[in-house]
Amino acid sequence: MKLLASLASALLVAAMAATAQVVTVPIYIQRVSSSSAPSFLAEVSYDTAQDPSSAVAPVVSAYEAPEILDDLESHELLRIGVYDKTANKWASSTSVITAENFGKGYAPHFVLSVNESSQKGSYDDQHVLGVAFKGIRIDAGQTRDFGPQAVLVRTTQGKQPELNKPVVLSPEGKQVVPQEKTLLQKYWWVIAIVMVLSLGGGGDGK
């Protein structure tokens, strides 16, 4: 079963690479109370298409259950995020979870927050803002989709303030605040059409 899942993930990643620009980010895990180097946890591949509706869903292309869990209690804290092993530093913001999320009967779920304004296509330019993780309890009747899953959250630029907009002043030097139009001012043309039609109908009836 594990071999089939790995093969399916590899085929999906290959299909994504053939149709779009794909980024693969390495996700690492580290015990909060430890000074040792982070350990590899997973790789998540996703499409950097500008249009989210046409982008291929992210996939966990590689996953290794962390060995550090063998010596941990369920309440102990772990740090998780994108790690640049070459530079030996975290390449994204990290989130803190408890070891309980990796317990038996839980399926690993990753959430990647991606900076939509950066489209260079690599994690080292802060394209990935952060990684969140949660173990989802597996339903006893669930027969598929119980392996590692990934979700992509795309950030978009918020509304920008209007700068250098001219300020209209009254002769007294006070700012002129535009008055909202009344219903009569907005729809006078509708009333005019109705009156014309009414007059026209009355003329035909004589």
What pLDDT does 120 receive? 47
Confidence of residue 110 (pLDDT cuts 50, 70, 90): very high
Higher pLDDT, 15 or 136: 136
What pLDDT does 148 receive? 86
Question: CA torsion, points 16, 106, 32, 2, in degrees to nearest 10?
Answer: -50
Confidence of residue 149 (pLDDT cuts 50, 70, 90): confident
Mean pLDDT of 137-147: 69
Q: Is the pLDDT of residue 3 over 60?
A: no
Q: Is the pLDDT of residue 28 over 90?
A: yes
What pLDDT does 197 receive? 78
What percent of the chain has pLDDT above 90?
8
Q: Residue 122: what residue type? A: S
Mean pLDDT of 151-159: 76
Distance of CA 160 to the CA centre of its chain: 21
pTM exceeds 0.75 for this model: no
In terms of phi and psi (left: phi > 0; alpha: psi -120 to 50; beta: otherwise), the region of 126 is left
Q: Is the pLDDT of residue 163 over 70?
A: yes
CA–CA separation, 102 vs 98, rounded Å?
Answer: 8
Chain-wide mean pLDDT for the chain?
74
What pLDDT does 141 receive? 65
CA–CA separation, 104 vs 101, rounded Å?
Answer: 9
Residues 6+ apart with CB under 8 A from 192: none
Concatenate the DSSP letters of all residues of 56-106 into one string. PPPEEEEE---GGGGG--TT-EEEEEEEETTTTEESSB-EEEEGGGGSTTE
